[in-house]
């Protein structure tokens, strides 16, 4: 992960990882129930970053990524996004619908709607975990689909958030189908609370440190 001044403290890092494991684990259970196949997700890396650092943390900022974006409302407002590099996006589609477009131009309503459904499941499950653990009311609005260069998607998220100086949670994820060892799909989940939103979450968890 990138070295930055906003790194999480030990307690915060442990809490965020637990939130991610619970929320994203619940998302994989929902995805398994929806498809009748068994999925799991690991969280290799978690950190806090400034928004302008996000493209640097993804292997190829000028490469094409599949993106999902949704505003967050409630006690802590903000934004969420999930990015998959193009190769990871095609792997997700092959796992879920049995096929994938060869090029970005081949994306149709089926692939877009499948991606939006995944984003809705993952985003809602993550917010539910925060709500339960931190006793806060948070809910997501309907997700939006994006297909563009990674850097362009990140710039759009920053522009929508209008919070360029805010700290974001950057969570690297790996989704895989339990019965298929070759199905590992690497993605990047972003949670961008409004100013002081992350501090409020940590306050409610009883682990306020310098975030």
Which ranges of the chain does DSSP label H, i.e. alpha helix? 10-35, 86-97, 109-134, 150-161, 197-205
Asked if pLDDT for residue 1 goes beyond 50, the answer is no
Give the distance from CA 2 to its chain's centroid: 17
Whether this prediction's pTM lies above 0.85 is answered by: no
Give the mean pLDDT of 35-44.
84
Domains and CATH numbers, the chain: 10-205 (3.40.1550.10)
Nearest 10 degrees: Cα torsion 105, 110, 111, 112 = 90
Model pLDDT for residues 173-206, shown as the tens digit of each residue: 888 887 776 567 888 888 888 877 888 888 898 8
């Amino acid at each position: 992960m990138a070295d930055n001044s906003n790194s999480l403290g030990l307690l915060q890092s442990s809490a965020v990882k637990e939130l991610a494991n619970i929320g994203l684990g619940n998302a994989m259970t929902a995805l398994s129930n929806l498809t009748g196949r068994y999925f799991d997700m690991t969280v290799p890396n978690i950190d806090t970053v400034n928004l302008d650092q996000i493209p640097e943390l993804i292997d190829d900022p000028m490469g094409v990524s599949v993106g999902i974006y949704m505003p967050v409302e409630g006690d802590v407002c903000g934004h969420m996004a999930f990015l998959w590099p193009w190769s990871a996006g095609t792997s997700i589609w092959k796992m879920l619908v049995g096929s994938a477009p060869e090029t970005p131009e081949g994306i149709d309503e089926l692939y877009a709607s499948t991606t939006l459904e995944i984003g809705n499941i993952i985003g809602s499950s993550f917010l539910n975990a925060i709500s339960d653990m931190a006793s806060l009311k948070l809910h997501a609005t309907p997700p939006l689909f994006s297909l563009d260069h990674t850097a362009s998607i990140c710039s759009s998220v920053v522009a929508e958030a209008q919070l360029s100086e805010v700290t974001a949670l950057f969570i690297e994820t790996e989704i895989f189908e339990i019965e298929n060892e070759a199905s590992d799909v690497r993605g990047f989940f972003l949670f961008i609370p409004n100013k002081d939103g992350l501090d409020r979450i940590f306050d409610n968890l009883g682990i306020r440190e310098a975030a």
